Chains A and B, each alone.
Chain A
Amino acid sequence: MPSARSEDRTELEAIARRLRSHIVTATTKAGSGHPSTSLSMVEIIATLYFGGVLRYDPANPHDPDRDRFILSKGHGAPGLYAVLAEAGFFPVADLMTLREMGSPLEGHPNMCRLPGVEASTGSLGQGYSIGIGHALAAKVDGRDYRVYVMVGDGESEQGQVWEAAMYAGNHGLDNLTLIIDRNNNQQTGRVNDIQPLDPLDTKLEAFGLAVRTIDGHSLDEVASAFEWARSTTGQAQAIVANTIKGKGVSLLEAAQDKWHGKPIPKDEEAKALAEIGASL
């Protein structure tokens, strides 16, 4: 398997802009989907796939030694598809078939239909447990791959997330990193108004996880957090990434609690893409 690709900072910024552009254009064309949920995780997935974090080979998506990224918050599918396409798992042009009948780019990720998708998700709360299964299999087989799971903060209201945190924490699964996309919003409003999670970091620590809180849009902080996770031994890790729902598009950022599951209207698309700098 080729070693991880490590690109310089300017290149990573360009990739982040391309991912945002794909997210906006694909969901606007589909007329549905979750662009704001996808936009909040862009720097994290860009760094995972292009910042030298994940070990993967698009030509061999089931390589037993690959690192795994599981998107538990399955409605972030447009973001996952964008990064998988850019990484070479399928053609970038396919992104425009999002949610179409016959396309493997379904509304939520389907691991049986799309290479690079590690778990079928969309019923919230389930990805972390699947990640534990992958992490345990690595221990059983003596393989050195790592497993990364991203959950949303709204998703963390699901009890299963905490069952999994308890297990990962108690069993010291140091090859497993949880990323919480803490964009502070869920379907009908702000997480803090619906089911406050704070203090999230100390909660996770109490479950036995090593925790680091970062600005999820700072490429430097994201890269440094993954470096920290990789060098942590004997303990499962959690990265609380503070993010902005709809990051990069002022229309969405201005009313983060109003745009869940809504694509950018066609007549706002050009402005959004200009803000992203997608003409690059």
Chain B
Amino acid sequence: MSFNIKRLKLEEGAATREAFGETLAELGSDERICVVDGDVNNSTFTNHFKDRYPDRFFNAGIAESNMVGIAAGLAGCGKIPVASSFSTFLMSNAFDQIRMSVAFPNQNVKLVGTHAGISIGEDGPSQMAVEDVALACSLPGFAVLVPADGPSAAAATKAMIEHEGPVFMRCGRPKVPVVYPNGADFHIGKANTLREGDDVALIANGIMVAMALDAAEALASEGVQARVIDMHTVKPIDVETIERAANETRGIVVAEEHLAYGGLGATVAMVVAERKPTRLGFVNVGDTYATSGQPDEILERYGLTPDAIADAARRVLKD
């Protein structure tokens, strides 16, 4: 499965979950790292770690609450536990365990939710995490990462392990275009500006970054110069980069594969409202659950396309 993002001149790459799993196994020589998976390790790709370090891999079964608690206990013993499952089962099912056993005592637990967003496609809305970023961002002390592509997910995995404190990283199911063909520079809390432009700023994360680049290309053909910012860290948000975009452009479009409430859009709006009010446009799933279908069809149906981003930019610039 892969996206058919028209006009995007980049090679099809790995799924972010795959890059995470491979990188985690590479980092596994650090004996502090333990993995607790919710019996989806052949989907989260923590299998790679399991194969190399079976003594530090624990299959918690289909019991995310217990899984997160085990991770918290491991962290209490100085381990760096990575708890992984489908993002909706991890964040929604085990939210109180994440709040009480991880966030409140500030435990050094790494939560990795895969199969996030509506781009999982056929499996349908029960499997689609569209609230996970909002849930994670609501927790004091959490860093919340949404990498855009394979190289970025690999770098994010390394940054996540090195970071002291709880982290939620969101990965997707499908293969995604490569945004960082030469490898990603990933610093938690520091956005990457991928394209310069002073008419409008497109702030995106996850799969929407590649689409924002595509939208910028389309806008350029109309004489509109769009700045594209990969806001891979939703929390702590990069206030400086947002403020600069608000100052230097005529408006900002925020694109994310998430519900409208509580995600990247809401976070950027908060920063803009406080620092430098400007026109805003939002591209997201809205306030609804999606349906089953082919990933491309579903993304199109719910308005997550390069065209939708470009349209939002045109609306922002119109006023």
Contact = CB atoms under 8 A, between A and B. Distances in A.
Partners in one complex: yes
A62 to B, nearest CB: 9
Interface of B: 34, 55-56, 58, 60-61, 63, 65-79, 81, 96-97, 99-101, 104-106
Interface string A102-125: 000000001110000011111101
Contacts of A111: 76, 105
A130 interface: yes
Contacts of A160: 65-66, 69, 97
Interface string A166-199: 1100000000000000000000000000000000
A143 to B, nearest CB: 9
Interface core residue of A120, A128, A131, A166 (most chain B CB under 10 Å) = A120
A71 B66 CA distance: 16
A46 interface: no
A141 B76 CA distance: 14
Interface residues of A, number: 32
* The 6 residue pairs across chains A and B that have the minimum distance between CB atoms: A133-B73, A129-B69, A137-B77, A163-B66, A163-B63, A130-B73
A126 B100 contact: yes
Contacts of B81: 133
A198 B99 CA distance: 31
16 contacts: A111-B105, A119-B76, A120-B105, A121-B100, A126-B100, A128-B69, A129-B70, A132-B69, A133-B71, A134-B73, A136-B58, A137-B76, A140-B79, A160-B66, A166-B63, A166-B66
A55 to B, nearest CB: 15
A126 B70 CA distance: 9
A134 B81 CA distance: 12
A122 B58 CA distance: 26
A130 B77 CA distance: 10
B100 A129 contact: no
Nearest to B31: A140
B316 to A, nearest CB: 43
B39 to A, nearest CB: 12
A64 interface: yes
Contacts of A163: 61, 63, 65-66
Contacts of A136: 34, 58, 70, 73-74
Contact of B97 (A110, A126, A141): A126
Contact of A167 (B66, B76, B100, B101): B66
A110 B74 contact: no
Contacts of B101: 119-120, 126, 129-130
Nearest to B75: A133
B76 A126 contact: no
A249 B56 CA distance: 48
A129 B96 contact: no
A53 interface: no
Given A118-B76, A121-B100, A133-B72, 8 more contacts: A64-B78, A111-B105, A119-B76, A126-B97, A131-B73, A133-B76, A134-B74, A167-B66
A228 B111 CA distance: 37
Nearest to A72: B69
A134 B78 CA distance: 10
Q: Which of A130, A131, A163: most chain B Cβ within 10 A?
A: A130
Interface string A211-229: 0000000000000000000
A181 B71 CA distance: 25
